[in-house]
Structure 1
Amino acid sequence: MESLHYLLMKTNALFHKRVMSEMGKIGLTPGQPKVLEYLIRYGEADQKTIAAYCEIEPATVGSILSRMEEGGLILRRQKAGNRRSLYVSLTEKGREDAQRVETAFRAVEEEAAGELSPAEQQTLQELLSRLYANLQSNSQKEKESS
């Protein structure tokens, strides 16, 4: 059997390729789908929160958000009492595209899950969550010791 690294890398690459093929049909560029997914799931948020959730650098999120704002997918505004942060929310067009993103994600997930039973799918999600938590915890420890 291949190494864990190799299997995760190859699976991610193929999954990403399938997802981006669907996103191209919607007219979205890399980075935009996960921002839309975040906003449809959690609602309005500041750029820093979106960047952390999406595992994207804040400066990169800024350029992604600028393109999304130009495309009419999001609105950015200041909230009363907080002049330093811009809060991002979906427009109606953004909500429609976010729903299309969710549908496309689900379709690719179903394709990837193939013949896995619901219990196997849940176990896979739990194991991947644990892998992510381990890596995230180790990254945090490295930051603290620097």
Structure 2
Amino acid sequence: MAPDDLRSEAVLMLVEAAKLCRALLGIELAEIGIHPGQDKLLRALYGNGEHSPSSLSKELRVRPPTVSKMLERLEAGGLIERDSHRSDHRRSIVRLSRDGEATLDAIDAVWKRLAEIATRDFSPETLRSAAAILGQMEENLATALHRLR
């Protein structure tokens, strides 16, 4: 197979694997009342004190309206708390609630099950190679997306 064909095939397989992961993740997270993406937001808040919605947007690599919608849902579910910034009341700060912290254990269990399913029968060497390759792909794609926004 030609190098360009191999690249196309690799990306197609990545997209299909990502769709399947996302579908399984969505089912598992729904069982604990979380939507995909909200798990990463809650994880970003853990142990890091207070965040602004804009800093979360940058960290999660999503647009600000997406973070705003996630925050609304998480606040309604009692998993986060929002307050006005101490010195600038136009800005808000976000932090995990006690229920949000408790939910992280269930989220971690979901991710562990997903990892076990997706990497079943992989050797440690294969896992290291896969992580390196996927990390480079993520970096390449993030750079390209950043240029477009």
**TM-score scaled by structure 1?**
0.86
Q: Which amino acid aligns with 1:108?
A: L
Secondary structure at 1:75 match in 2: strand
> Partners in 1 of 2:37 and 2:141 — Cα distance?
21
Is 2:147 the counterpart of 1:130? no
User: Runs of 5+ in structure 1 lacking a partner?
Assistant: none
> Partners in 2 of 1:127 and 1:141 — Cα distance?
22
More strand by proportion, 1 or 2?
Answer: 1
Which residue of 110, 114, 117 maps to 1:111?
Answer: 117
Q: CA deviation at 1:29?
A: 2.4
CA contact (8 A) 1:43 1:89 kept: yes
Instruction: Specify the alignment match of 1:61 in structure 2.
Output: 67
User: Runs of 5+ in structure 2 lacking a partner?
Assistant: 1-5
Q: CA deviation at 1:78?
A: 2.5
> Partners in 1 of 2:91 and 2:129 — Cα distance?
39
Q: CA deviation at 1:119?
A: 2.5
Pairs within 5 Å for 1:1-146: 3-40=9-46, 42-142=48-148
Q: CA deviation at 1:142?
A: 4.7
**TM-score scaled by structure 2?**
0.84
- Structure 1 ranges of 4+ moved more than 4 A: none
1:68-115 Cα offsets, whole Å, 9 max, x none, are 111100001223223343111111110111221111111101110111
Q: CA deviation at 1:66?
A: 0.8
CA contact (8 A) 2:25 2:36 kept: no
> Partners in 1 of 2:71 and 2:50 — Cα distance?
13
| Higher alpha-carbon deviation: 94-103 or 51-60 | 51-60
Go from structure 1 to structure 2 and tell me whether the alpha carbon gap of 1:121 and 1:41 turns closer, same or farther (over 3 Å shift). Answer: farther
Q: Which amino acid aligns with 1:31?
A: G
> Partners in 2 of 1:17 and 1:138 — Cα distance?
25
How high is the sequence identity, in percent, across the aligned residues?
Answer: 24
Aligned residues: 143
